[in-house]
Structure 1
């Protein structure tokens, strides 16, 4: 047999063995991308509610009306990009999530328009919106788990922990904005009836930051990112732990956005190193 024939046979076997590996890698990358987008969708959903509370509490300041629109547009774009699901369970949950999102988005737009035209909103529709947001978050969390289960792709530990920290920071910002707005004289927590107080959530945030800082897998880059996040946290930590004193919603809203931005960059660093 000629050397050319042997080379052709070798290339054929190499191609046969590499195709399954390539397909697996492509599927894994697709699932990782879906998980990231779904996480970002959850942040956008949380933020849209916080934007509404800020809009209410800041007496109809139009910058927050624009923020509501931006958060909803971001969420819609992320949801629209979630097209490849690894199994039937995740496909069914995605269909449910799409329905819930459309309903929630419509409710929020109606309330924002009502606030713009009337200058106030009734408590019950706002409570319903907050409840719908909680359902949306729960459903998206279920889908996040289902994608990992069906794809066999598990988000690495520090990547997941930093993503959860972003969601926690956003939840704290939403609760602080809600308390500052005091819609109808009542505070509506983003976590429902059994949620923790703002100072308890702030303590949880500090504990997780300590855990992230102590992780031996940290690189010089991630340690620098953690330090920058912690510096921003110091600007609002006292206000959060003493939330019943002077209210500073603008400050908390501003720095929470920056902290979340830092945490998302950090989780990207962790993901790039698969840690």
Structure 2
């Protein structure tokens, strides 16, 4: 285990061009961008579910602005050509995602087409793929404890987004892009429960206890997502869980040996 910790540290410390502190800062920004991507998609679907609700529209635009602000700047990259290429791909993917997120016909025509939903899903997947390349490059596919907490937050927000998508298109969801086997809401809910228990075993923090209380209210709804839709409850409680997890994940005082990836 000690050898593994040293290896991860050395990989981060000796990547060319950028200081170790900047690498961790960039990782934090990338994980926050992943969470915000799912949050924005959630608001896209809630905008549909609520038939053009102004608050949902404002939240979507706020998420897009925050996503833009989370892009690493050129000065952070320190001349690392590989990282510059990765960030360029993220930037281009975000541009495509923003276009899809703002193309909900509910704004002008009073409905959201399946084409708009599937375009958003495709743009989202492209952006997440670009972020995954950044994670792999910066961590060597061995995320530390803080990164695993933020990954857990992203998983919760992903479930909320998927749940809102189904709620918004409950009657016409057969036209939606199908979730791949093993990538459905119930599977993620069960995986998160194990992931969360693992994190709590290594981190004694009141913020995790707060998140656990909210999780208990919605876990059953997510596992049995086919039976009912309560998007207000799921999205509201997910926001609290994600906020608590990100507070912990961005807390640089929490540094521990890396855990096995989930």
Question: Normalising by structure 2, what TM-score?
Answer: 0.83
The 3-state SS of whatever aligns with 1:232 is helix
Q: Which structure: greater helix fraction?
A: 1
Alpha-carbon distance in structure 1 between the residues aligned to 2:102 and 2:170: 17
User: How many aligned residue pairs are there?
Assistant: 239
User: Any idea what SS the aligned residue of 1:32 has?
Assistant: helix
Q: For 1:154 and 1:243, how far apart are their aligned partners in 2?
A: 32
* Structure of higher RCO (CA pairs closer than 8 Å, 6+ residues apart): 2
Cα deviation, 1:50-104, whole Å, max 9, x if unaligned, reads 1101111122111110111011000011116464225211111111111111122
Give the whole-Å Cα distance in 2 for the aligned partners of 1:183 and 1:237.
20
Tell me: CA distance 1:83–1:64, structure 2 relative to 1, closer, same or farther (3 Å).
Answer: farther
In structure 2, what is the equivalent of residue 165 of structure 1? 152
Residue 225 (structure 1) aligned with residue 207 (structure 2)? yes
Cα offset, 1:141, TM superposition? 1.1
The 8 Å contact of residues 123 and 183 in structure 1, kept in 2 or not, is answered as no
Alignment RMSD: 2.4
Instruction: Measure, in 2, the Cα distance between the counterparts of 1:167 and 1:268.
Output: 13
Report the counterpart of residue 167 of structure 2 in structure 1. Answer: 180
Whether the aligned pair in 1 keeps the contact of 2:103 and 2:116 (CA below 8 Å) is no
Answer yes or no: is 1:32 the counterpart of 2:19: no
Q: Counterparts in 2 of 1:66-215, with a 5 A limit?
A: 66-79=58-71, 81=73, 83-85=75-77, 87-111=80-104, 114-149=105-140, 155-156=143-144, 158-182=145-169, 185-186=172-173, 188=176, 192-215=179-202
CA contact (8 A) 1:134 1:192 kept: no
Q: Which runs of 5+ in 1 are unaligned?
A: 1-20
Give the conservation status (yes or no) of the 8 Å contact 2:146–2:254.
Answer: no
Distance in 2 between residues matched to 1:200 and 1:155, nearest whole Å: 22
Q: Which moved more, 1:101-110 or 1:255-264?
A: 101-110
Q: 1:241 to 1:194 in 2, by over 3 A?
A: closer
CA contact (8 A) 1:121 1:183 kept: no
